[in-house]
Amino acid sequence: MVRNHGWVPSRGLQPLGPAVPVVLTAAAYYGAARLGLLEQLVRGQVTPLWPPTGIAVAALLIFGLRVWPGIALGALVANVTLGPSVGAVLMIVLGNTLATVCAYLLLRRAGFHDGMDRLRDAVTLVFLGALCGTLISATTGTSTLVISGALDGGDFWPTWSVWWTGDAMGVLVVTPFLLLLRRFRFPRAAPPLRWAEAAVLSAGLVLVTVLVTRTSSNSLLFLIFPFLMWAAFRFGLAGAAPAALCVCTLVILAAGRGDGPFAHHDLLANMVTLQAFNGAAALTALVLAAVVTERDRTYEEIKRVCDELTDVVVALRLGTDADRRPPDGG
């Protein structure tokens, strides 16, 4: 039975003043937006991975609905220089804010746990948080660009697909990583072999990802999956979340350069290949980590019940033996 010794969550963030989470959320949203725009594919503002969406959903899950002004402010500052007009920017900001709030409400309605220690949490994050909530931002943003004349109507679906999957990937890979950081405690008691295993896993994951994204075969991308499974099986969410984020980032960088399997294809074809792989990678890592955590928790519960039953049986046996013992002087 594999255990995650030493890799455990901490108690989380201490209560902050009411304005601090809003400011932190706005600053994190804007900073992540600037990074995300480095890999833009459409009109300087649509990317295959939009980290601000993942940051916004994580902030809502941690601090609650009170941080929505920070999301709106961060989105406004990030988009105000991109245009195409003030009205269009406001509509995009509205769509981005509503999408993350909707994703948050759907997750809370479904009983989502921030620790993501259940299979239902991973599945809920994928379908409600990533796929459903982000429909709002993609549809609002792309429609706004078309209506304002900044985008040709024939480019609606390619742009919409990039926008939607980019926001969805932000939730899939960034939100779990931030939720992990919130609860993670440095594993000082981890044995040296555990550190060595983590180092070998990290190096192997990066090396294989870089190599396979430089080859022209799509099938070689699946050589990455054994490393994702290794990370999830051995380290749980503490391994799965960083591994998924690392892999998706490296593959997106390769797609942006047009390397390997992303060479000589149009935007829509590259997006299908890219996001199908990224979605499968993130889903595999998160689901397997949740399954492993549930398995270990079930094992510990069974062990606890068996220990308690053993104590009861021993106590009953001692009582029976005492009843059978002849009285003194008999």
Give domain status of residue 255, yes or no.
yes
Give domain status of residue 38, yes or no.
yes
Contact 66, 22 (CB under 8 A): yes
Q: What is the pLDDT of residue 318?
A: 64
Instruction: Find tokens 């149009």 and name the residue.
Output: 266
Domain count, the chain: 1
Give domain status of residue 142, yes or no.
yes
Contact 248, 173 (CB under 8 A): yes
Give domain status of residue 330, yes or no.
no
Cα gap 277→272, rounded to integer Å: 8
Task: Kindly state the helix (H) or strand (E) to which residue 265 belongs, with its residue range.
Answer: none
Give domain status of residue 311, yes or no.
no
3-class secondary-structure state, position 299: helix
Q: Which domain holds residue 284?
A: 8-306
**One pLDDT digit (tens) per residue for the chain, 330 residues:** 344 444 444 444 445 567 899 999 999 999 999 888 877 655 555 678 899 999 999 999 999 999 999 999 999 999 888 777 899 999 999 999 999 999 999 999 999 998 888 889 999 999 999 999 999 999 999 999 999 988 888 888 888 888 898 899 999 999 999 999 988 776 677 788 988 999 999 999 999 999 999 988 888 888 999 999 999 999 999 999 999 999 999 998 888 788 888 877 776 777 778 888 998 999 999 999 999 988 888 888 888 888 778 877 776 666 665 555 666 554
Give domain status of residue 321, yes or no.
no
pLDDT tens digits along 270-326? 777 888 899 899 999 999 999 998 888 888 888 888 877 887 777 666 666 555 566
Give domain status of residue 315, yes or no.
no
Give domain status of residue 327, yes or no.
no
